[in-house]
Amino acid sequence: MDEAARDLGVGAERERNRQARIQSRKAQQWNTWAYNRQQQQVHYSASVDIRPDWEVVEQIAFPEIIKQSLELAEAAPEDLATYGSVRWFDKSYDRVTPKSEVLLRRRTEEPPRNVTASEDPIIQKYAAEGTGNVFTTDGVLAAVMCAARSNYSWDIVIKKKDGKIFLDKRPDGNFDQLTVSETAQEPIPDDPEDINGVQQLSAEGTKANRAFVEQSLTVEKDAYKFGEPVPFFGEDDNDSIAYKYRKWNVDDTTKLVCRCELNAVSESKGMDKGKALTTLVKALNEFDSKVTGIDWRLKIETQRGAVVANELKNNANKLAKWTAMAVLAGAEQMKLGFVSRVHPRDPNAHAILNTQTYNTKDFAQQINIKEANMWGSLKLFLDTCRKFEDGSYICVKDPLKNILRFYKYEESASMF
């Protein structure tokens, strides 16, 4: 064998060894990634204890929900009635920055009783009069419409009788608790001893949201009245809430009556300066920038788009539901407060860093909320419910799989 052939053979062997080392490193990297991913998996519990006597009657997989689309023949709803009054948004909170952060005051009073659709006397009246055949609230409706974005388990109760369907939250459930970092790439631990555990962050986020809404609305101007006082609120209830009862003809067989909520009005700028714009005010909360990925105090002024994009990644379901609720209520604006812990290890002290204002329809488009998919998802859900006999059912988002599962149960006093 001549020298050139020997060199060629040695070179080929050297290349084979190099490729083998590359493949070995790739295999090690893959195994390490797979191991870490497995280690990161958190097995969350169901939002309600599934009883052995509950019968599974149907299920819907998320891929089926995602592909739904329905354009309403009559896009504009019929406004049946409006109750309550709301306060004006305090414009000074539009100017807050991390350099002029404002401490968030703690709320001591309890939030208003958010009655279920079945308990709402106005909805009961519409049901008795035959105004609709599906009755619910905006929060429940948003959960159904945005179901495919959810990660944690949640549930709603379905009552079907005499051609009418009521979609309700469980009275003593945690449906109104806000999730925090539900859709983050790194799962939140389900540890009751961890201040950054799922339940602790949920309680913290819910309180921070309520406190921000309360603090950011001025008491120096008279409240904006939408109509008569909310009939199921007490005389001492002075929260800023207005309820709009709206009706949609979803299709030829579905007449939907929904109670929608607004919690503020804000002053318009430009040609209509001073005009009241219907507004939905909410607050996002930062607990530890090392976990969430972007430090709001450093980026909220100079890179707002990046901050919002990161929140959309970490809180896709929560932002989608808020946006759906704003769309359903006909809110012209959404105001998002950015509330952060004063210190990452203290979940009890917070500061308001910034407020951002969005036109509701523009924000929906920005975060890819399509009304056609919202209504298509609802139609799929209702078509599923219509297969059932009259009775009581509960729909539970599976805690481990991207599935909505429907159970039939026999109602009793200690059901839940």
Give the per-residue pLDDT at 266: 96
Nearest to 32 by CA among 21, 43, 22, 24: 24
Distance of CA 272 to the CA centre of its chain: 32
| DSSP H or E segment with residue 186 | none
Sort 27 into a burial class: Cβ within 10 Å, 0-12 / 13-18 / 19+: exposed
User: Which residues, 6 or more positions from 112, have their beta carbon under 8 angstroms from its beta carbon?
Assistant: 233, 237, 239, 241
List C-alpha distances in Å: 415 to 8, 49, 393, 412: 79, 10, 12, 5
Which residue in the block uniquely carries the two structure tokens 């019929």? Answer: 78
The C-alpha atoms of residue 406 and residue 157 are separated, in whole angstroms, by 10
Three-state DSSP class for residue 51: coil
* Residues pairing with 81 in the sheet: 245
| pLDDT (0 to 100) of residue 40 | 55
Q: Tokens 């929906």, residue?
A: 364
Question: What's at 337, amino acid-wise?
Answer: G
Sequence-distant (≥ 6) Cβ neighbours of residue 234 within 8 angstroms: none
pLDDT of residue 300: 95
Nearest to 381 by CA among 250, 271, 268: 250
pLDDT score recorded for residue 12? 64
Which DSSP letter does residue 264 get?
E
Parallel/antiparallel/unpaired status of strands 333-341 and 276-286: parallel
SS3 37: helix
Q: How far apart are CA 32 and CA 193, in angstroms?
A: 28
CA-nearest of 113, 127, 362, 117 to 260 is: 117
d(CA 310, CA 355): 16
* Residue carrying structure tokens 């309520």: 210
Strand ranges for 120-212 from DSSP E: 134-137, 155-161, 164-168
Q: Is 130 helix (H, G, I), strand (E, B) or coil?
A: coil
- pLDDT at position 107: 74
pLDDT of residue 10: 58
> Over the chain (416 residues), what is each successive 10-residue block's mean pLDDT?
53 69 61 46 88 96 98 92 97 97 83 84 98 98 98 98 96 92 95 95 96 95 93 77 97 96 92 88 96 95 94 98 99 98 96 98 96 98 97 96 96 63
Predicted confidence at residue 239, as pLDDT, reads 79
Any idea where the domains of the chain sit in the sequence?
42-409
This prediction has a pTM of 0.89
Of 90, 331, 357, nearest to 221 by C-alpha is 90
